[in-house]
Amino acid sequence: MAKMNFGGVIEEVMTREEFPLEKAREVLKNETIAIIGYGVQGPGQACNLRDNGFNVIVGQRQGKTFEKAVADGWVPGETLFSIEEAAKRGTIVCLLLSDAAQMQLWDTIKPHLTAGKTLYFSHGFAITWSDRTGVVPPKDIDVIMVAPKGSGTSLRTMFLEGRGLNSSYAVYQDASGHALEKVLAFGIGIGSGYLFETTFQREATSDLTGERGSLMGAIQGLLLAQYEVLRENGHTPSEAFNETVEELTQSLMPLFAQRGMDWMYANCSTTAQRGALDWMGPFHDAIKPVVERLYVSVKTGEEAQKSIDSNSKVGYREGLEKELAALRDSEMWRTAETVRKLRPENN
C-alpha cells in the first residue's frame, strides 16, 4: 500500500505498480468469474476482465441485453448463460444487477452460493440495508466489493484508452482468509486506476449522497435555476445554455479536472476571480443545509426505502419514463441538442 497525502490527511491506496496485473492473474487463476447482469456495470467489468486474461462468464436473461452480450463476443452455452446457470458455474459470483433486480433474484442466486465461493458487489446498497432488501449472504463465503467511481461505459472507454477509473474496495466477510487479496486482484483486473479502502456502509452512503447531490440531482437543479433566471431576464436559449452548461462542460471542467479549481481560479480574468470568490460563500451556505438533510435521509435508510418502494410499484417503469421524457424535452436540454450539433467536431 502507498501512503498518500490527501489535503493533509494520510490515506493508504493500492496502485497498479504495487499490485501489478500479473499478480492479479496469479491470485485469481483458479477462479471462474461469473458476471451476473449485463446492464450498467456488467459490460465494462466483464470485457475488461476478459481482455486482461481472466476466466469470465456472463449470466443474463434473454432479451435485448442478452443480444448485446452476444454482440460483444460472449458465446451462448460457452461463456454466456442464464443467470442461474452462471451463478452455479461461477466461483466468484458478481451481482451487477440493479438494486431492485438483486432483491428480486436473490432467492434464485443464493442456493448457488455454496461454501468456499465469493460473492462480489459493485455497490453496497443490498448489504448495507439488508434488513430492507433481504440480501443476507451465507456465512461460509467471502463477500467483497469493488466500486468504480463512474459508469461502466467510462470504465470500458478509459480501459481501451490505457487509462483507469479509480475504485473503492471493501471486504464485508472473509471466510477464506484470502478475501483481501481477491478484492485487490479484482480491482486491478477490471482496470481500476488506483484503489482506496472503504466499507459497504460508507460506499452505499456516499454513493447515494453523490448521485442525489453534486453528480446528478444538485447539478441539474443548479444548472436549471441559472438557465431559468437568464431566460426570464430576456437572454436567448443559446446564450443561457452556453453561459450555464456549455462553457462549464467543454471549457472549465476539463481544466479543473486536470489542475484543480484553485488553478482554474488563478487562470481566469480578475473579474471572474472576484465574483467567484465573493459568491462561492453564499452558494455554500445555501446548499450545505440541503446536503446535510440529504445525508441524514441516506444514512437513516429513508432514501433506500424510497427506492425499494418505488421500484416495487406497479407501473413504476412507465412513470419513470415519463419523468425522464419531461427532463429530456425541457427547453434547456432540447437547446443542448442543437448546441452539440454546432460543435466544430460535428461539422
**Dihedral (CA of 68, 72, 75, 79) sign:** negative
- CA 202 from chain center: how many Å? 14
Residue type, 203: E
Buried b (16+ CB within 10 A) or exposed e, 121-151: bbbbbbbbbeebbebebeeebbbbbbbbbbe
Cell 459497504, residue? Answer: 200
What is the full DSSP assignment across 117-160? Answer: -EEEES-SHHHHTHHHH-----TTSEEEEEEESS-HHHHHHHHH
Residue count (the chain): 347
As a whole number of angstroms, the distance between CA 42 and CA 37 comes to: 6
Distances (CA, A) of 245 to 160, 220, 226, 287: 28, 10, 10, 19
* 140 and 115 Cβ atoms separated by less than 8 Å: yes
CA nearest neighbour of 204 among 154, 165, 170, 164? 170
As a whole number of angstroms, the distance between CA 327 and CA 219 comes to: 13
Eight-class DSSP state of 176: S
As a whole number of angstroms, the distance between CA 177 and CA 171 comes to: 11
Tell me which of 123, 178, 235, 284 is the catalytic residue: 123
As a whole number of angstroms, the distance between CA 54 and CA 160 comes to: 17
112 a catalytic residue: no
Q: Where in the sequence numbering do the catalytic residues fall?
A: 123
